[in-house]
Amino acid sequence: MPASKNPRPKTVPKSFRIDESAIVAVEKEAAAQQVSPNTLVNQILTQFSEFERFAKRISTVKPSSFVFRGILEAADVDKIIELAKTAGSSIPQAFVTAKSGRVDIDSLLDHLRTLALYAHLYEYSENLDPRGQVITMIHDFGLNWSIFLVHYITAMFEQMGVSPKLEMSDRSVILSLPGK
Amino acid sequence: MKQSAVELQPVGNAIFSLYTLGRSSCSGLERKLKKLPGITEVYVDYVADVVEVKFDPSKIKSEEIRSQMKKLGAGT
């Protein structure tokens, strides 16, 4: 179910030559997780196709959660807000344009889902009904991360002329969008 | 022109991180989660260490799923 789109995507047989050390590592990990090497290889390639190949275009780095939390705690709130506004008005657009070739509400929401799936920036929950869509992002990076997310998402949707309702606490951000 | 009335059913989708749930392995989690009422699909990504769950929000809430995952994780 990569990026919440297609629960059972079509699979095709392919043959590749792979470095022996790499496949040994995959087989070892597959055994530890009690899944087939096929499942693991498929998920490695899906992560590359859905996230990594676009993330590198925006020079993504991967600090540990401990370091990330520490940097956020040490940062000045005004600087975080300024950074969030700048990032939110450019990064999501660059990411979704590279990925889907279009910028619209659905592709921006897919960006938020993708950040939960592959970047571990929060846990993500969405409820969709005729009244609209409510998305909850839960994290343990502290209040400054919630502040960043609120301003990042606001700037992201401003580009589309949309002003969603946003609420936050020190460990969650709730985004509400009215029904179409 | 008469419009056809298509009623949109409530749909829930949640992505849980296995890091924050404190689980190093998700063995058997998919099968166990699928037995819970209101859960329609479960996908465990062993590379990203996340579990994605589709559910009927009128039958179960994401907080309940999270709590059940923690319970199911204990002892596996």
Tens of pLDDT along B35-48? Answer: 999 999 999 999 99
What predicted TM-score, i.e. pTM, was given to this entire model? 0.88
| Pair A68, A86 in one domain | yes
Write out pLDDT tens, residues B3-30.
Answer: 445 566 789 999 998 876 665 556 678 8
The domain boundary, picked from A34, A60, A86, lies at A60
Report d(CA B61, CA A165) in Å as an integer.
Answer: 21
Chain A touched by B40 (CB under 8 Å): no
Full domain range(s) for residue B49: 12-68
Tell whether the torsion through CA atoms of A80, A82, A88 and A91 is positive or negative: negative
- Paired tokens of A167: 């609420």
Report d(CA B44, CA A74) in Å as an integer.
Answer: 35
Chain A touched by B31 (CB under 8 Å): no
Domain count, chain A: 2
Report d(CA A21, CA A14) in Å as an integer.
Answer: 20
Domain-embedded: residue B38 = yes
- Paired tokens of B55: 């559910």
In this prediction, the residues of chain A whose per-residue pLDDT falls under 70 are 1-8, 180
- Paired tokens of A50: 């859905």
Q: Which of B11, B20, B45 sits opposite A123 (nearest CB)?
A: B20
Domain-embedded: residue A36 = yes
Q: Which of B15, B41, B46 sits opposite A117 (nearest CB)?
A: B15
| Pair A122, A164 in one domain | yes
| Pair A120, A165 in one domain | yes
In chain A, residues with a C-beta closer than 8 Å to the C-beta of B52 are 1, 4, 117
CATH number for the domain including B43?
3.30.70.100
Domain-embedded: residue B73 = no
In the chain, the amino acid numbered A128 is L
Asked whether B10 and A129 are in contact (CB, 8 A), the reply is yes
Write out pLDDT tens, residues A129-161.
Answer: 878 899 999 999 999 999 999 999 999 999 889
Query: If DSSP states are collapsed to H, E and C, what string results for chain B?
Result: CCCCCCCCCCEEEEEEECCCCCCCCCCCHHHHHHCCCCEEEEEEECCCCEEEEEECCCCCCHHHHHHHHHHHHCCC
- Which is nearest to A169 in space by CA: A137, A128, A134, A132? A137
| Pair A81, A151 in one domain | yes
Q: Which of B27, B46, B52 sits opposite A4 (nearest CB)?
A: B52
ipTM summary value: 0.86
Size of interface A-B (CB pairs under 8 A): 89
Report d(CA A173, CA A138) in Å as an integer.
Answer: 7
| Pair A49, A91 in one domain | no
Domain-embedded: residue B75 = no
